[in-house]
Amino acid sequence: MRARITAQLRGWLILAAAMAVACASGVVFFNMHPREPVYPGPGVTRKAMLSDYAPAFQHSPADTPVYILEGKAPGPTLLVFGGTHPQEVSGMLAAVLLVENVRVERGRVIVIPHSNQSGFTYTEPLEAFPHEFEIPTAAGARRFRLGMRLSNPVHQWPDPDLYSHYPSKEPLIGSEARNLNRAYPGRPGGRYTERLAHAILSLARQENVDVVLDLHEAYPEYPIINMIVAHERAFEIATMTAVSLQARGVPMNIMASPKNLHGLTHREFGDHTQAQALLSETANPAMGRFRGRTDEALVVEGKDENYIAAAKLKRLFVPFDASGHPLSSRVARQIVTVEELLNAWNDANARRPFAIAGLPAYEEIRSQGIGAFLHPAP
């Protein structure tokens, strides 16, 4: 009888401890869901939500702000995506810099900084990624979420054994069913990520977008890096952009979007909308398999001894020395790519040009840091 009471008492204590662990872990997971603030700058004329274009997304975790910067004079429309892959942070931060700094005088710029909001709500288990990183500003630090490449499994589950892309039926590994950049053009009755892709493509159609630029990063051992990938209809402006960047000392190559690789922005926006579609890649050592300690410093400073060694062994597709690939340089690359893309569009479409102001300069971002161009933390 006494042993029974002891076991029961022990059971209650163990259960209480397990519940405490569950609650503490739950708070950590729950804290990944609140959205980080973006402070619209003077150039933002309208803030919409993705659900305005796809009402089924209202109050869903996929719904995400869409910032519209419209000039007084009519002109072409550029649509910029950050956060298609939330782990590729320079794209999201470059999009935030556009929202908080740019003023459009002619034409329109539409920016979605957190394209796959779901991917910002988790990090992959066993990868030891930090949940956040910090950017210092004049009035204190602003913190940003570090997410993952795919939609959170709590929003789309289970993964199929084999993901069959709609409508091409191209087979991919099952987890790619949660990859926004393998889900375009999407479908309104599909899985969560397909519905998200369909909503974003609908936005591009409804707003008569002329140019789409999707901002990405890749690991330094990946061959498609410091690269603009362009749909065949965008190849002229992509080439002009890359040549201008090279002339400014920003190494950039171009690659044609493969016609048999489906679901990506540069392929599907080019095929399914009137837009000229491009995707840019910078090098992020925090994503690679050679990386050492994975912490905020690696995300922000981009320095890693393993990558220096790998570069000496010629295993990388970008130079890598002690200065690393800091986030400020990667964001500067994304911003200068936007600048030169607009210049290329204007050269190719002199009767219908963009005119924008307030775009942070490449050298200024590199020398002063990203925080100098972010709205100070309140």
Partner 1 sequence: MFIDELMLLGYRGIAAIVALVMALQVLRSGDWREQVYAAMVFVPFALRAFGVK
Residues in touch with partner 1 (CB under 8 A): 3-4, 7-8, 10-12, 14-15, 17-19, 21-22, 25-26, 29-30, 33, 154-158, 189, 191-192, 195
Angle at CA 135, nearest 5°, toward 131 and 138? 150
Nearer to partner 1, 8 or 368 (CB): 8
Judged by CB, which is closer to partner 1: 10, or 293?
10
Least distance from partner 1 to the Cβ atom of residue 120, Å: 15
Considering beta carbons, is residue 32 or 361 the nearer one to partner 1?
Answer: 32
Residue 4 burial (CB count, 10 A)? 8
Q: Considering the complex, state which of residue 189 and residue 378 has its C-beta at the smaller distance from partner 1.
A: 189
Nearer to partner 1, 21 or 49 (CB): 21
**Which residues lie closer than 8 Å to 39 by C-beta, 6 or more apart?**
100, 375
Residue type, 240: M
Minimum CB–partner distance for residue 112 and partner 1 (Å):
22
Please work out, in degrees rounded to the nearest 5, the angle formed at the alpha carbon of residue 96 by the alpha carbons of 358 and 258. 105
Q: Name the residue type at position 244.
A: S
Q: How far apart are CA 77 and CA 197, in angstroms?
A: 19
Pick between residue 155 and residue 262 the one whose CB is nearest to partner 1. 155
Shortest Cβ 163–partner 1 spacing (Å): 13
Q: Which is nearer to partner 1, 56 or 357 (CB)?
A: 56
Q: Are the CB atoms for 305 and 214 separated by under 8 Å?
A: no
**Min CB(192)–partner 1 separation in Å:** 6
Strands (E) in the chain, as ranges, are 46-49, 65-70, 73-81, 103-112, 132-137, 140-145, 162-164, 171-173, 211-218, 227-230, 253-256, 276-283, 355-357
Contacts of 184 (CB under 8 A, 6+ apart): 197, 200, 201, 263, 264, 265, 267, 268, 269, 272
Residue 7 CB, nearest distance to partner 1 (Å)?
4
Q: C-beta of 29: minimal distance to partner 1 in Å?
A: 4
Q: How far is the CB of 207 from partner 1 (least distance, A)?
A: 26
Q: Cα–Cα–Cα angle for 181, 184, 185, nearest 5°? A: 170
